[in-house]
Amino acid sequence: MFGLFRHRTYRHLFAAQVIALTGTGLATVALSLLAYGLAGARAGEVLGTALAIKMVAFVGFAPLVGAHAHRLPRRVLLVGADLIRAGVALALPFVDRVWQVYLLIFVLQAASAAFTPAFQSLVPEVLTEEREYTRALSLASLAYDLENLCSPALAAGLLAVLTYHQLFFGTVVGFLASAALVVSAVLPKPVRRPVEGGALARSTAGVRLLWREPRLRALLALNLAVAAGGAVVYVNTVVYVRHQLHLGAGAVAFALGAYGAGSMTAALLLPRVLERVSDRVVLLGGGFAIAALFVPLTGLTMAGGRGSWQWPTLLAVWAALGAACASVNAPAGRLIRRCVSAERRADAFAAQFSLSHSCWLLTYPLAGWLGATAGLAAAVLAQGALAAVAAVAAARIWRPERSPARRVRPLVAA
């Protein structure tokens, strides 16, 4: 897997991703604690709203950027997005009102909506061999796990000597370093693609691509299962740890780290697994595992704050959820690459980015608002039901191949 680093361009891009995500992980912990400082026990409601705003930015901006990205040099697009994100992170430590958090989160995530699909579509142009690209997807998953494992662990150590406001400055450094690495990379020339129709037609081209192919429609359903599981972790971890279990701020980082540890373990194993097991089995297995894990989580939630077993149980469920979500997220790019032709991949990745995050737009506020108004147990039951429905729908859409030897042909939009 690590032989991929002989490619200089990929090495620089991967380093940029790792450094930026490490800083983002510090901001994730700091934002949770900032929300708790501003809203107390209703921190889940604040986080749910902030993360819903993040998804509005992702859903609204990613297709628009995808439609017009061909007009901008990719280096300018990527570096500009990093600089905007660094500026927002620099402002976050100074907020003292909830509405200020919402405004800054929107600007930061709008920039991320420009950066991430462009970055994702660039990697298969750098690594053209499928075996290498599969390993790159696992490495990308590992990089995202730094946000959930190494960064929270680093945050837990830094909180011993710093305030949570100061953690945001680590995010600033991460985005600036990412911009510098992108500048230093030799980017491939973009694959020429047809520019057809008006802005609306170009913005929805990727959505039409995904909807035409049953395997990619199933992936869209599985995105909802991942969002249901992930929203409980990202929104309600601080509520479980601080309000229900009455543990310290460092335990929030530790719990998020458990989720990242499970995801990282799955990402390390997936390349070998995918050489022996079909994409369908791995992706659907991850979706059904997410739904099943809501059963022990419901029992934990209804038990309240009683029992020494609850803290290790929460960590175990979080780690298992991380592994199950990675089993869907990591192979998703490989599936898109196999189903969509090279000149249409930028549209497809932008659509996958937008549509997958539209699922989070539903689950983030559901986890936060329902948890704050009807109780944590009601939020967990609702998210579990969503995950189960999504997994069953994906299985019904993505039927087994009749002939295992049948080759997958890239899909080209009309």
Domain map (residue ranges) of the chain: 2-397
Q: Are 68 and 117 in contact (CB under 8 A)?
A: no
CATH code that applies to domain 2-397: 1.20.1250.20
Amino acid at 165: H
Rounded to whole angstroms, how far apart are CA atoms 169 and 149?
19
Q: What pLDDT is attached to residue 305?
A: 62
Q: What is the C-alpha end-to-end distance of the chain, expressed in Å? A: 36
Rounded to whole angstroms, how far apart are CA atoms 164 and 304?
28
Q: Are 80 and 179 in contact (CB under 8 A)?
A: no
Q: What angle do CA 179, 180, 185 make, to 5 degrees?
A: 100
Q: What is the DSSP string of 149-189?
A: THHHHHHHHHTTTS-GGGGHHHHHHHHHHHHHHHHHS-PPP
Q: What pLDDT is attached to residue 145?
A: 62
Q: Which of 157, 152, 158 is nearest to 21 (CA)?
A: 152
3-state SS assignment for residue 247 = coil
Spell out the residues 6+ positions from residue 151 whose beta carbon is closer than 8 angstroms to its own. Answer: 21, 22, 23, 24, 25, 26, 28, 29
Helix (H) or strand (E) holding 343: none
Ramachandran bin of 110, using left for φ above 0, alpha for ψ from -120 to 50, beta for the remaining angles:
alpha
Q: What pLDDT is attached to residue 412?
A: 45
pLDDT in tens, the chain (414 residues): 566 778 888 888 888 878 877 777 677 677 767 766 666 666 666 666 776 677 777 777 766 665 565 567 778 888 888 899 889 888 888 877 777 777 887 888 788 777 877 777 777 778 777 778 777 777 776 676 665 556 666 776 776 677 777 777 878 888 899 899 988 887 776 655 554 544 445 556 667 777 788 888 899 999 999 999 998 998 888 888 877 787 877 788 788 888 888 888 888 888 888 888 888 899 999 999 999 999 999 988 888 666 678 889 899 999 999 999 989 988 887 888 777 776 676 677 777 777 887 888 788 878 877 877 888 888 899 999 999 999 999 999 988 866 444 444 454 443
Rounded to whole angstroms, how far apart are CA atoms 184 and 298?
49
